[in-house]
Structure 1
Amino acid sequence: MLLVALLALGLLAGAAAHLPGPVFLTAAAAISGWLLLFAARERLGRTRRH
């Protein structure tokens, strides 16, 4: 499992290295926003259950 994760990370990092800066930053901001929303939703769900 660790080997698969490292391989995926290498593939994504290699692909990101070939993107122009603004495209990379836009994609990174979109992914970060999605992760923040997901984390907030999960935390809110746990708070309501307990």
Structure 2
Amino acid sequence: MLFLVAALMLLGVALGTVAHVPVGVSVAVAGFIGVWLVVFAVRERHGRRRTTSH
């Protein structure tokens, strides 16, 4: 429960920051995070395939 509260507080801080930066910066950061999540998902999926085949 404490983790959920901390995550919501961090989300509130992040949304407050997004409201004060230019739209271009927000879009660039969102794109970077999106690419990072895709790379992470691909690496996780590839790693699990390798470990389950043995």
What is the TM-score normalised by the length of structure 1? 0.92
Residue ranges of structure 2 left out of the alignment (5+ in a row): none
Query: Partner of 2:21: helix, strand, or coil?
Result: coil
Which of 1 and 2 has greater Rg?
2
RMSD between aligned alpha carbons? 0.7
Aligned to 2:45: 43
How far the C-alpha of 1:3 sits from its partner, in A, is 1.1
Which residue in the other structure is 2:4 paired with? 2
Give me the whole-angstrom Cα distance separating, in 2, the residues matched to 1:26 and 1:36.
15
Return 5+ residue gaps in structure 1 as ranges.
Answer: none
TM-score computed with the length of structure 2 as normaliser:
0.86
